[in-house]
């Protein structure tokens, strides 16, 4: 089976005219994870947002080669194969976790049935909270609901910004296991983290951002 590839060539990102980092080159293929390293303000979030297409790079390019084949006029784009878990949880406080996840999965073009969302929430220990307004959950519980997308999606590319923030030890272990399984199955995960995330048995590369 063909493996997907994320190519980053000579990438410079920043706000306005000022670059945060310059000349980033890396190529990731399916079956590899990458941890973005750098001090606070080095541009870790900026890099993830740029990879997702939320921000335009100052220079350089991002190439996505999908494992799926379609003709050259209608290629499978990075957007079609992306699961992006940002800094914010993307949960509306007045909607329940099930309603929030239902909309989020439809937005990324991978709708899932509600029973499956409930099952996934139960697996993550959130069964009792599935039908409560999300605004009443604790920070860690909200994060777990937001991360439940990783169990519902089959997108090959994951961009995760501080996925483990506010998580307890058990949830962090679940997250690590899920990320490792995704990468082992031929996916790519690019993440930033301040906690240690131990992805056993899968190669984790480092993307070092040095301020310029």
* Binding region for other proteins (CB under 8 A): 52-56, 77, 79-80, 82, 84, 86-95, 99, 102-104, 106-109, 111
Spatial neighbors of 40 by CB under 8 A, at least 6 apart, are none
Torsion of CA 89, 180, 78, 119, to 10 degrees: -50
- Looking at the Cβ atoms of 78 and 180, the one nearer to other proteins is 78
CA dihedral 113, 84, 199, 201 (to 10 degrees): 80
Q: How far is the CB of 159 from other proteins (least distance, A)?
A: 9
> Phi, psi (5° rounding) for residue 194?
-105, -25
Q: Considering the complex, what minimum distance in angstroms separates the CB of residue 87 from other proteins? A: 7
Residue 206 CA: distances (Å) to CA of 147, 152, 186: 22, 27, 18
The distance of closest approach from Cβ of residue 83 to other proteins in the complex, given in angstroms and rounded to an integer, is: 9
- CB-nearer residue toward other proteins: 63 or 77: 77
Closest contact distance (angstroms) between CB of 201 and other proteins is 30
Closer Cβ to other proteins, 71 or 88, answer by number: 88
């Amino acid at each position: 089976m063909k493996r997907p590839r994320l190519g980053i060539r000579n990438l410079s990102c920043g706000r306005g005219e000022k670059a945060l980092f310059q000349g980033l080159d890396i190529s990731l293929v399916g079956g590899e994870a990458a941890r973005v390293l750098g001090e606070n303000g080095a541009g870790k979030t900026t890099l993830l947002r740029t990879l997702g297409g939320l921000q335009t790079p100052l220079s350089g390019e991002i190439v996505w080669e999908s494992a799926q084949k379609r003709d050259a006029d209608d290629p499978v784009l990075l957007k079609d194969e992306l699961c992006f878990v940002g800094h914010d949880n993307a949960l509306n406080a007045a909607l329940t976790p099930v309603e929030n996840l239902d909309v989020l999965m439809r937005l990324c073009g991978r709708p899932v049935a509600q029973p499956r969302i409930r099952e996934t929430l139960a697996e993550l220990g959130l069964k009792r909270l599935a039908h409560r307004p999300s605004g009443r959950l604790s920070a860690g519980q909200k994060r777990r609901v937001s991360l439940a997308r990783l169990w519902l999606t089959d997108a090959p590319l994951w961009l995760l910004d501080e996925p483990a923030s506010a998580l307890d030890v058990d949830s962090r272990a679940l997250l690590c296991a899920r990320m490792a399984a995704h990468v082992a199955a031929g996916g790519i995960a690019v993440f930033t983290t301040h906690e240690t995330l131990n992805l056993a048995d899968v190669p984790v590369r480092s993307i070092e951002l040095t301020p310029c």
